[in-house]
Structure 1
Amino acid sequence: MPVLLAAVTDSPLDVDAHVRAVDDARQGACVTFVGTVRNHDPEADGEVVALDYTAHPSAAATLREVAEAVVTQLDPYGETRVAVSHRIGRVAVGESAIVAAVSSPHRALAFTVCGELVDRIKHDVPLWKQQHLRDGSAVWSGLPS
């Protein structure tokens, strides 16, 4: 099973735990992606201090489906291993909102899978964020049209 962890959680994310989840003596590469909340956004008119992530009830299942689809599409031998989690709830500037760890026998495949995985999560997983600004206002982002 190439997807060892796919979670939507309100708990802080542990990068090392994701790396350990995909660790395997057969793997020659491990690529990680950590998406961190930043203090600015083009959609926000002011300094961002935190995000509130909201997820559809299907988000965790969709996250796993997306991860499995990416591995199936890009690794015909099924040797790639994935651990990925996305936060929900209040996430402060500087905290991790998403962590992905991808291991494979070769680095090129690990980089490719990790990049595609993050892009597909952003596009396909039903997660939305409300950006909280220093002035007390808030701006929604990622809502369906």
Structure 2
Amino acid sequence: MTVGLPFNPSIQARPNADDHFAITFAPLSLETVYQLADDAANGAVVVMSGMVRNQTDGLPVVALEYQAYEPMAMQVFRQIAAEIRDRWPVTHVVIHHRIGKLTVGEISVLVAVGCPHRTEAFAACQYAIDTLKHNAPIWKKEHWQDGSSSWVNIGACEQADE
């Protein structure tokens, strides 16, 4: 479920020094993302952590492999932050996504939003992850226990996650 208005690519994605975006092969850090979103003006920091689960639609999963078209994905991350800043009084927007092969339990995506109030922080964080899943050019390959696998756009997985 997308919170707020639909994704609006007409809002100009101006860089903001208080935001941070990354696409990396390295493991993601909850502590680092929280610190990047923290600010004395915050009344709340909401962090969403997406991780590799052990099944999809009842089929046992052993790993996920992520790929991204990084230049476009980073632009989508900046666009999401610009839209969030247009709707909510956020102090920081942080979006980090892993690529490469991840095993069950590993963190694949972290989104953190700092705001003066918790209601706005929750809404902005949910908007960020929902919009990322719809618009970022990121794909995952599900590796099942039986040795088979298939690629899907992460946006195609949204219905299963709701």
TM category (shorter chain) comes to 0.7 to 0.9
2:141 alignment partner, SS class: strand
Measure the CA separation in 1 of the matches of 2:26 and 2:125.
Answer: 22
User: One-letter code of the match for 2:95?
Assistant: V
Q: 1:17 to 1:120 in 2, by over 3 A?
A: same
Per-residue Cα deviation, 1:28-85 (whole angstroms, up to 9, x for no partner): 111110001101112xx7310111111113212222222222232x22xx44311110
Aligned length: 140
Asked which structure has the greater RCO (Cα within 8 Å, sep 6+), the reply is 1
> Is 1:87 the equivalent of 2:98?
yes
Residues 59-138 of structure 1: pairs in structure 2 closer than 5 A: 59-72=73-86, 74-75=87-88, 78-138=89-149
Q: 8 Å contact 1:3–1:68 — kept in the other structure? A: no
Change (3 A) 1:143 1:30: closer
Deviation at 1:143, TM superposition (A): 7.5
Residue equivalent to 1:35: 50
Instruction: Give me the whole-angstrom Cα distance separating, in 1, the residues matched to 2:33 and 2:130.
Output: 18
Question: Contact 1:27–1:103 at 8 Å: present in 2 too?
Answer: yes
4+ runs deviating over 4 angstroms: none
**Residue 17 in 1 paired to residue 32 in 2?**
yes
The correspondence for 1:56, drawn from 53, 69, 72, is 69
CA distance in 1, matches of 2:152, 2:105: 18
* 1:6-48: CA deviation from partner (whole Å, max 9, x where unpaired): 1111110001101101111111111110001101112xx7310
C-alpha distance 143-98 of structure 1, shift in aligned 2 (>3 A): closer
Structure 2: any 5+ residue segments left out of the alignment? 1-15, 157-162
Contiguous gaps of at least 5 residues in structure 1? none
- 2:46 and 2:155 map into 1 onto residues whose CA distance is 30
Question: What is the TM-score of this pair, normalised by structure 2?
Answer: 0.79
Q: 1:106 to 1:71 in 2, by over 3 A?
A: same
Change in Cα spacing, 1:69 to 1:19, as seen in structure 2 (3 Å) is: same
Deviation at 1:87, TM superposition (A): 0.8
